[in-house]
Structure 1
Amino acid sequence: MSFKSQCNRHQQYLMQLPKIPQSVAGFSTLFSPLDFRYLLLEKISSATYRIYIIALYLENDEGGQAVFSALYAAKKQKPHLDICVLVDWHRAQRRRIGTALGMTNADWYYLMATKNPNDSVPVYGVPVNTREAWGVLHLKGSIIDDTVLYTGASFNNTYLHQKDTYRYDRYQCLNNRELADTMLQWIKKSLLQDKAVNRIDQQDPSARSDIKYYTRKFRRALRRCNYQFQAHEEHESLAITPLLGLGKHSLLNKTIYHFMLSTQYALMICTPYFNLPRILVKNILFLLQQGKTVEIIVGDKTANDFYIPEDQPFTMIGSLPYLYEINLRSFLSRLQNYINTGQLIVRVWMHGQNSYHLKGLWVDNEWMMLTGNNLNPRSWRLDLENAILVHDPLQQLAQQRFDELNVIRKHTILIQNFQDLESISDYPKPVRRCIRRLRSIHIDQLLRAIL
């Protein structure tokens, strides 16, 4: 089968997906975590009838406290507001990695509830699997009235640039009543009504053993879930498709696969960690062999949230950024010829002590995917993910797309040779020692699969 006929098949798959019309005026892109924080707090304070916050976590620090306090303030001012917070069940009930003391986020949610007994802001924990290592709630898209604020960010100091450093992500604001209703209907039906999902802002939240049976049933049900909405037949104007995914064979994964192979001219990928599932690596190789251009922007190891500076005590978890760099170097060493010809463009993002958490895909200036999916084995198999596929056949979002990509590229370094990246021999001695130990017992492969 020729490339053209294959490409047509993948394009047909995308065209046949159900779509929701999206106005150009109702689609806006923000370019910094500060802008996102200001907009989020403004939207919460001006909400008129509903606020649903969905994130991996809402952290008990200044950034998270500002968001949670704004929710309680909105409820006090407008008691009729339907407010709800959904976070990952496991993440909320443990402390941050490396922190042994202090309250968990669930403890904080309960404390806030006791301080505000007359203002209900329920917080629900969603257990996607029986243990955090085997799957978490990684849904994105908070719903405020008829607006969906879509970002890969969670809510804490670094994601919201509350202090000196930030974690860079993508931030889109979609004013679309049908999209907001579609996402919320699924949340209410498939999450909030399930016995595995319980409030964690109360005195005695369910223990893991109490919901283990329900969690297993819940995960099986999630594998079959998709957003339900009335499809529109319009194909010549701006439209969006919300997508869900859990497990290797999910609708979201299937769409990502076809999305990449629909490329006629150029594909662009952003991911914080270079640890692509094998099938996506094969897609990239196929496109390069067919003469297409592929651009990848990935975070430098120093821009990884697990990176440990050399002047601090090293622990095993700090080996992850180096393992990702080893992946990238190995990948590029096999494809140096494509780098030389300019077909493969690889940029590494770094900006001081800030970190990079940005994900997304762009195809031919016509298609764009907003997602929190890290495009790694964990996202592909374990986590509950979603995305919004954007079809822009008239290129009405061209300026926003151009501006966003310019901002993303601003703090990147173009890799011209795989040797521009450090090798294991260049790493600090504790890192070299740790990586060799991990490799000797194949733990490095397990770490890349679950983190």
Structure 2
Amino acid sequence: MNPHSLLAALPGFAIAPHAIQVLPDAAAYRTCLLERIASATRRIVIVALYLQQDEAGQEVLDALYQAKARRPSLEITVVVDWFRARRGLLGAGRQPGNAAWYQAQRELHGLDVVIHGVPVQTRELFGVLHLKGSVIDDCVLYTGASLNNVYLHRFERYRLDRYHLFDCPALADAMVDVVQRLLHHTATPRLDLPDAPPTRRLRGDIRRLRARLRRMLYDAPAATPGQGLRVIPLLGVGRGNPLNRTVCALLAAAESQVIISTPYFNPPRLVMREIDQALARGVNVELIVGHRTANDFYIAPGEPFSASGALPYLYEDNLRGFARRRQAAIASGQLQVRIWNDPGHTFHAKGVWVDLRYSLLTGNNLNPRGFNLDLENGLLIDDPHGQWLAPRAQELAGLRRHAPLLTSAAQLGEKAEHPKQVTKLLRRLRYSRLEPLIKRVL
């Protein structure tokens, strides 16, 4: 099937332009989330990589318990990654993890705010719950953000993401349905209750869960000729899944413009091939990538170093090599590379825009891990008649605000300028020939 036919055949939901709202920043999202929780009357389903024990996380969990206390019939389910909830922060030593906090909060309030942990693989290294999209009554709140101080801009620092609201009951029902089918009484244990089983006891259930996930799809109406604005939900885990195929089809279908935003520049071969083929067709390609200091793994000079602190430099090396090999396209303006950097803040916005028709929202980092290991999803906005161009352009302008154009790969500096600890670690990876494997699981 050619890419245009594949995209035209995707099932999705008709939606009015005014039913899709774009929030401008993390602070606006935090305000909206808390207001929607407070006004919920029927159901709340929160889906995130993690709900962190900090001030912003406490604010969200307090809001959920307060909503439940006001309306006992309100159904509240929180879904987070199993492994992330049961360990501490990277580089912070041994910690009990957020699960202990969930249990303490349940004991304190005595109310049924259900929190499930989802193990997508038997080890965190090989796959996590990267599903996005929460539902409050009939509204879908779609963002790549997790729930903590920096993602919600609780204090001085923020991590920029994308924030969309869809007032579409049918889409909300479809996304809740997938969450309900995802949850399993043994494979996705409750984290708010004591005595959660060790992961080793779940291994068989996890393997069966992953096999079931590979077959799972959103339930959406079939496409019909002549449809207007639609939103298309996509689910993906493992190679060749519907989300991966759609990303590649979008890039292959591009006729005039492709825009890709990712905080971590480590494209899988399929995506790199489609980028190069788009350039060969004469398509204008724009990349929006976070500066190494805007990476959430960045460790500032003088702070204790850990191995994860080398990741921003590895991503920068990838981008430098990519830009050098395509310097002619950069010089002609056909390839635009933007480096997002608002000092003191971090960047986490992901997505694909093609021509003036398609806008893909996703938590997928468009890297080998997202394409092969994690449980991912996305919402594709198909706008064949240009009904939603103004909000689209406004969001892109916001993403470009702190992202000046790169005029040459030389602006990214040289590997020789890396801190000594980073240089030593990356050299060891290359000499041990582990670098390709490491890139596949980052």
TM-score (norm 2): 0.98
Residue 152 of structure 1 corresponds to 144
Shift of 1:393: 1.3
Q: Which runs of 5+ in 1 are unaligned?
A: 1-5
Residue 167 of structure 1 corresponds to 159
> What's the CA shift string for 1:355-407, capped at 9, x where partnerless?
10010000111111010000001000000000011111121211111111111
Cα distance in 2 for residues equivalent to 1:292 and 1:144:
39
* Match for residue 280 of structure 1 among 262, 265, 271: 271
Number of aligned residues: 442
Higher alpha-carbon deviation: 35-44 or 424-433: 424-433
* Match for residue 229 of structure 1 among 217, 220, 241: 220
Residue 59 of structure 2 corresponds to 66
Cα distance in 2 for residues equivalent to 1:302 and 1:332:
19
Matches within 5 A, 1:201-280: 201-233=192-224, 235-280=226-271
> What's the CA shift string for 1:207-239, capped at 9, x where partnerless?
112211100111111111111223252534110
Shift of 1:429: 2.1
- Partner amino acid for 1:220? A
**Aligned 8 A contact 2:8 2:223 in 1:** no
**Aligned 8 A contact 1:194 1:218 in 2:** no
Residue 113 of structure 1 corresponds to 106
Cα distance in 2 for residues equivalent to 1:296 and 1:241:
23
Aligned residue for 1:124, secondary structure, equals strand
Higher alpha-carbon deviation: 61-70 or 426-435: 426-435
Q: Please say if 1:377 is aligned against 2:396.
A: no
**Aligned 8 A contact 1:44 1:70 in 2:** yes
Matches within 5 A, 1:66-105: 66-105=59-98
**Aligned 8 A contact 1:320 1:448 in 2:** no
Residue 13 of structure 1 corresponds to 6
- Partner amino acid for 1:162? R
Aligned residue for 2:18, secondary structure, equals coil
Runs of 4+ that moved beyond 4 A: none
Aligned residue for 2:282, secondary structure, equals coil
- Partner amino acid for 2:66? A
Residue 3 of structure 1 corresponds to none
> What's the CA shift string for 1:323-350, capped at 9, x where partnerless?
0010011111111110111100000001
Residue 168 of structure 2 corresponds to 176
Cα distance in 2 for residues equivalent to 1:87 and 1:211:
16
Shift of 1:316: 1.7
Shift of 1:435: 1.6
Cα distance in 2 for residues equivalent to 1:388 and 1:331:
28
Matches within 5 A, 1:323-334: 323-334=314-325
Shift of 1:127: 0.6
Cα distance in 2 for residues equivalent to 1:75 and 1:427:
51
**Aligned 8 A contact 1:26 1:176 in 2:** yes
* Match for residue 32 of structure 1 among 21, 25, 33: 25
Cα distance in 1 for residues equivalent to 2:304 and 2:433:
23
Cα distance in 2 for residues equivalent to 1:103 and 1:163:
24
Aligned residue for 2:130, secondary structure, equals coil
| Percent identity between the two aligned chains | 43
Cα distance in 1 for residues equivalent to 2:317 and 2:183:
41
**Aligned 8 A contact 2:297 2:312 in 1:** yes
Shift of 1:158: 0.5
Aligned residue for 1:242, secondary structure, equals strand
Aligned residue for 1:373, secondary structure, equals coil
Alignment RMSD: 1.2
Cα distance in 1 for residues equivalent to 2:431 and 2:303:
25
> What's the CA shift string for 1:246-278, capped at 9, x where partnerless?
001111111111011110100000011110001
Q: Please say if 1:367 is aligned against 2:358.
A: yes
* Match for residue 46 of structure 1 among 22, 39, 44: 39
Residue 137 of structure 1 corresponds to 129
**Aligned 8 A contact 1:14 1:259 in 2:** yes
Aligned residue for 1:317, secondary structure, equals helix
Cα distance in 1 for residues equivalent to 2:223 and 2:310:
48
Cα distance in 1 for residues equivalent to 2:424 and 2:194:
45
Cα distance in 2 for residues equivalent to 1:194 and 1:296:
42
Cα distance in 2 for residues equivalent to 1:308 and 1:442:
25
- Partner amino acid for 2:57? G
Aligned residue for 2:155, secondary structure, equals coil
Aligned residue for 2:399, secondary structure, equals helix
